[in-house]
Amino acid sequence: MERARADRRQKTELARVLRAEEEKRNIANGNPGDIDFQRLIAEFRAARAGSDQPHAAGDLKICVALRKRPISAKEVARKDHDSVTVFNPKVTVHNCKTRVDGITKYLDSSDFQFDHAFGDVDTTARVYAATTRPLVPFVLDGGRATVFAYGQTGSGKTYTMVGIQRQCAEDLFRALTAAPPTRRGSAGGAAAAAATLEVYVSFFEIYGGRCQDLLNRRHRLDVREDGQGDVHIAGLEEFQAASAEELEQLIDRGNRNRTTHATESNDTSSRSHAICQIALKEAGGGGRLHGKLSLIDLAGSERGADTKSHNRQRRMEGAEINKSLLALKECIRALDSGEAHVPYRASKLTLVLKDSFTRRAARTVMIATVSPGASHADHTLNTLRYADRVKETKVADFADARRQRQRRSSGSGGGGGEGKSAGDGGADSGAGDDIRYLHETLRLHSTADSEEVVELHRTVQSLFEKEEALLNMHMSVIQENAELLTEEGRLLQQIQGDDVVDYDIDAYAARLSEILDRKMQLTAMLKLHLGQFRRHLEEEESVSKRVSSMPQY
């Protein structure tokens, strides 16, 4: 018995020494996190070793890829550890858990599969080659292509998108100089064959409900859908680029404007969608659009859950991001499944990208980026679920429910149909319908949802519109008041100027009375709108209090 006890003690001591050595090795390798979980993950990886598939660039209408970034020095310093395993095309998130005994550790692992999965050693060049390069000939052939970077703040969206923008610029000009493109839908003939394409770029940001030009001192932009269903971004500057270098410089300028703003006001960039659009236009063809490539760095996905903030602006931004990411998923899905209804009016993001979802010749790439750290596992899972749903096969009664909804909305005379004008009040009902549509679709996925969230999304949408209208009205009242003030000065000058001899005091009194009436009218009008706007603010406050949590994407 004594001997057995000594044996046990020896074994325990050996295990302790081995564990200490393993921990030392892990630390030396830059992995100071929980040793047991790391061992379990290493075993998982060893069992799957060799299952990695080579990446092949495909011609997919919708391509969904995952990119895991390397663990950062900061995360290592916090003793976080890598808990995401990638063997293309599979991704596994390991949730590290402890059994009820409080001692035994185990992995709760969730598997996902995408068109491509890139690990921390994969370069941006490789990500680009497999996902985005096939879009270059597609756009040169007259298509609309859109690339999204989606993920939690700090997961590598900007890192990935900046690299993709650079490579696109190079490939586009290389292809343009190498061979003239075929011209889809053009009149043909010698003139058409001789025509070349010109490259233009625009770069703007959607922050809260506002659009701002990143290539023109963050100038506020107005988005409108006309009676023909064409979406216009009024005031957006577009610059021609004659070479890849020029294009890269313009894109860098847009990115810098975004970043400068971020340092000025904390983390603004992760709260905004940045949209870089490269347009190919026919030279000598009156600037007719031939093809378009949109490269979009989306707002941090976790921001969409930010509804409980005491700060109204944060709350509204959160609701807007939530709505836009929900709408984006549904629009891409509608594109994939050929659904007749595309709910692009539910958010400004999807509205400005309308032709990316509604044209026959449209392709989309979604690159979901994730942080590897175990402490981010919940956000990582949300990102993977979102990316997964973008392409998930339809639920059986999905189409049926949509048809029912369409019947209901056409029966009630509601808007939302293709081609309906959104520029003159039609926008409100179109957007409202599309918001409801999003939530009906969510309900089909049995995701937590409530009438309150629909109401919150609508209230926030309307609040952004009312805010815009109030600011515009305030501006025009200030302008008119300034003109009236100048006129008052002139009027006084006519009466009491140094060289005035004759004057008409009746005319002075009559005009002054008119001016004062107009000023009172302007003040009353502004006050009335302000009062209405403040009631909308109160409404938002009370609706957001009733919302317990935002729906998952």
Ligand X SMILES: Nc1ncnc2c1ncn2[C@@H]1O[C@H](COP(=O)(O)OP(=O)(O)OP(=O)(O)O)[C@@H](O)[C@H]1O
Q: Which residues of this chain interact with ligand X, rule CB under 6 A?
A: 69-70, 72, 151, 153-159, 269-270, 300, 369
Shortest Å, Cβ 29 to ligand X: 18
Cα 162 to Cα 166: distance, rounded to the nearest angstrom: 6
Collapse the DSSP code of 199 into the 3-class scheme (helix H, G, I; strand E, B; otherwise coil) and give the result. strand
Shortest Å, Cβ 334 to ligand X: 26
User: Quick one: 72 or 358, whose CB is closer to ligand X?
Assistant: 72
**291 in a known ligand binding site:** no
**151 in a known ligand binding site:** yes
Shortest Å, Cβ 455 to ligand X: 28
Phi and psi at residue 271, to the nearest 5°: -100, 5
Shortest Å, Cβ 313 to ligand X: 18
Shortest Å, Cβ 146 to ligand X: 18
**157 in a known ligand binding site:** yes
**98 in a known ligand binding site:** no
Task: For residue 454, give the nearest of 469, 467, 443 by alpha carbon.
Answer: 443
Q: Which helix (H) or strand (E) holds 13?
A: helix 2-28
- What one-character DSSP code corresponds to residue 203? E
In sequence order, what E strands does 388-505 have?
A: none
Cα 431 to Cα 349: distance, rounded to the nearest angstrom: 12
Which pair of tokens denotes residue 394? Answer: 């339809």
User: Quick one: 35 or 298, whose CB is closer to ligand X?
Assistant: 298
User: Quick one: 70 or 134, whose CB is closer to ligand X?
Assistant: 70
Shortest Å, Cβ 69 to ligand X: 3
Distance, C-alpha 68 to centroid of its chain: 19
User: Quick one: 154 or 285, whose CB is closer to ligand X?
Assistant: 154
Q: What angle do CA 537, 539, 540 make, to 5 degrees?
A: 65
Question: For residue 353, what are the β-bridge partners?
Answer: none
Q: Give Cα separations from 82 to 28, 34, 379 (angstroms).
A: 15, 10, 14
User: Quick one: 161 or 362, whose CB is closer to ligand X?
Assistant: 161
Shortest Å, Cβ 79 to ligand X: 18
Shortest Å, Cβ 267 to ligand X: 6
Shortest Å, Cβ 413 to ligand X: 41
Shortest Å, Cβ 286 to ligand X: 38
**380 in a known ligand binding site:** no
Residue entry with tokens 């096969």: 393
User: Quick one: 32 or 70, whose CB is closer to ligand X?
Assistant: 70
**Distance between the two ends of the chain, CA-based, in angstroms?**
61
Q: Which helix (H) or strand (E) holds 210?
A: strand 210-213
CB 118 within 8 A of CB 63: no
Cα 395 to Cα 337: distance, rounded to the nearest angstrom: 12
Cα 90 to Cα 117: distance, rounded to the nearest angstrom: 6
- Output the residue with the shortest Cβ distance to ligand X: 156
CB 440 within 8 A of CB 343: no
**153 in a known ligand binding site:** yes
Cα 51 to Cα 58: distance, rounded to the nearest angstrom: 20
User: Quick one: 199 or 298, whose CB is closer to ligand X?
Assistant: 298
Cα 195 to Cα 142: distance, rounded to the nearest angstrom: 14
CB 324 within 8 A of CB 353: no
In degrees to the nearest 10, what's the CA dihedral of 284, 289, 292, 297?
110
User: Quick one: 159 or 398, whose CB is closer to ligand X?
Assistant: 159
User: Quick one: 139 or 206, whose CB is closer to ligand X?
Assistant: 206
- Quick one: the chain helix, strand, coil %, rounded to 5? 55, 20, 30
CB atoms within 10 A of CB 250: 24
User: Quick one: 265 or 412, whose CB is closer to ligand X?
Assistant: 265
The runs of H, that is alpha helices, within 72-132 are: 73-77, 124-131
User: Quick one: 137 or 163, whose CB is closer to ligand X?
Assistant: 163
Annotate 20-32 with DSSP letters as a single string.
Answer: HHHHHHHHHTT--
CB atoms within 10 A of CB 245: 12
**156 in a known ligand binding site:** yes
Shortest Å, Cβ 154 to ligand X: 5
CB atoms within 10 A of CB 246: 16
Binding site listing: 151-158
| Binding region for ATP | 151-158
